[in-house]
Amino acid sequence: MAIERTLSIIKPDATRRNLTGAINQRFESAGLRIVAQKRLRLTRERAEAFYEVHKERPFYGDLCAFMTSGPVVVQVFEGEDAVAKNREIMGATNPAEAADGTIRKDFAESIEANSVHGSDSAENAKTEIAFFFSDGEIVG
């Protein structure tokens, strides 16, 4: 296993319910370090660019509208096997399929309002981290 970095987003359904601390606690207690973090409101253009890979999917428009509906918290996590560990702690995309004890099982409202996003590979993590953070904003 290697020390990796991954991008996490706490989504508008979770910031609306004041769950930022509760969600961060799950990641930190599993050994991931939050080495960068900021709260911001995505514009429609930025949401569309971030999720461009899903452009042809039927849920793309609704997803971009949801992601601009309130503040998000974008974060960089660092740790052993951070990409896979983050995904394990989040649980399956659809909360109905998420394992017990995962963030999405416990907090998600729906497949769209599923509380958190995490990069799905080390390669995508690099692109997604660079989308939100400059090198100087990441303090390991």
The residues binding ligand CMP (CB under 6 A) are 54, 59, 63, 93, 111-112, 114, 117
116: Cβ–Cβ under 8 A, 6 or more apart, which residues?
A: 8, 9, 10, 11, 14, 23, 90, 103, 104
The catalytic residue among 27, 67, 117, 118 is 117
C-beta closer to ligand CMP: residue 39 or 139: 39
C-beta closer to ligand CMP: residue 30 or 53: 53
Task: Tell me which residue has its CB nearest to ligand CMP.
Answer: 117
Instruction: Give me the residues paired with residue 74 across strands.
Output: 9, 38
Q: Is 54 a catalytic residue?
A: no
Tell me the H-state helices in the chain: 12-16, 20-29, 44-50, 60-67, 82-90, 103-107, 122-132
In the bound complex, what is the minimum distance in angstroms from residue 113's beta carbon to ligand CMP? Answer: 7
Closest CA to 125 of 17, 6, 28: 6
User: Which pair of structure tokens corresponds to residue 68?
Assistant: 């601009």
In the bound complex, what is the minimum distance in angstroms from residue 63's beta carbon to ligand CMP? Answer: 5
C-beta closer to ligand CMP: residue 56 or 135: 56
In the bound complex, what is the minimum distance in angstroms from residue 53's beta carbon to ligand CMP? Answer: 9
Residues serving a catalytic function are 117
